[in-house]
Chain A
Amino acid sequence: DGGITQSPKYLFRKEGQNVTLSCEQNLNHDAMYWYRQDPGQGLRLIYYSQIVNDFQKGDIAEGYSVSREKKESFPLTVTSAQKNPTAFYLCASSTSKENTEAFFGQGTRLTVV
């Protein structure tokens, strides 16, 4: 079955620690995205990548970092510089065509303790 897998589903982090959220897709999609979801704010784009070894900042990239070493993988690191990291994080992928939809993973809920 093709799809997007995010892991872990729940993640707890102590203040001052970096954590990495995993996102893997087997849809052969060129483009991948990371969103942050907070109640009442919809989804906000953190980073996106349209091709391997290339990525761009989205609207709220501060305190986050990504890598795209393989087409299938787009991990997100939440660094200690992110002041309010507790949120639900969603990974998505799409083809590189303009008229395309994105497919989403099941999300990772990150809680800072």
Chain B
Amino acid sequence: AQSVTQPDIHITVSEGASLELRCNYSYGATPYLFWYVQSPGQGLQLLLKYFSGDTLVQGIKGFEAEFKRSQSSFNLRKPSVHWSDAAEYFCAVVGIGGYQKVTFGIGTKLQVIP
């Protein structure tokens, strides 16, 4: 069975500092990987996705993620965090069978301090 681990439930960074949110997955083959962001009381917005090809993926709002097969990881990064990035971030993995087989991590809540 596939699984997703986001080891950091809560992260605090200073505005302007770099950010890395960790995501590890378990799946027998190369999965489809996603990062979503959720502001309080809102739905999920797709930041970026990995299906195949280049392992460094660029997304919206200045985010990027790198797929590392050897480490089963898909960490999200941003070189300089803005106060508006404060939100909850979810990593998700989709295996064979389409999106009905998606598994979400429990989320990482990001706090940005001045």
Spell out A's residues near B (CB within 8 Å): 4, 6, 31, 33, 40-43, 45, 48, 50, 56, 58, 88, 90, 92, 94, 96-107, 109
Contact = CB atoms under 8 A, between A and B. Distances in A.
A103 B44 CA distance: 8
A50 B98 CA distance: 10
A90 B38 CA distance: 11
B114 interface: no
A42 B107 contact: yes
Given A33-B100, A48-B100, A94-B99, A42 B44 contact: no
Contacts of B100: 31, 33, 45, 48, 50, 56, 58
Interface footprint category on B: 20 to 34
Given A101-B46, A107-B41, A42 B99 contact: no
19 contacts: A4-B43, A31-B100, A40-B9, A42-B104, A42-B107, A50-B98, A56-B100, A90-B43, A97-B98, A98-B32, A98-B97, A99-B52, A100-B98, A101-B49, A104-B43, A104-B44, A106-B42, A107-B41, A107-B43
Given A40-B9, A42-B106, A99-B51, A105 B99 contact: no
A25 to B, nearest CB: 12
Residue among A56, A88, A92, A104 with the highest chain B CB neighbour number at 10 A:
A104
Q: Which 10 A-B residue pairs are closest in the complex by CB-CB distance?
A: A104-B43, A42-B104, A104-B44, A42-B106, A43-B104, A48-B100, A106-B43, A99-B51, A94-B99, A98-B98
Contact of A99 (B32, B41, B42, B46): B32
Contacts of A43: 44, 90, 104
A24 to B, nearest CB: 14
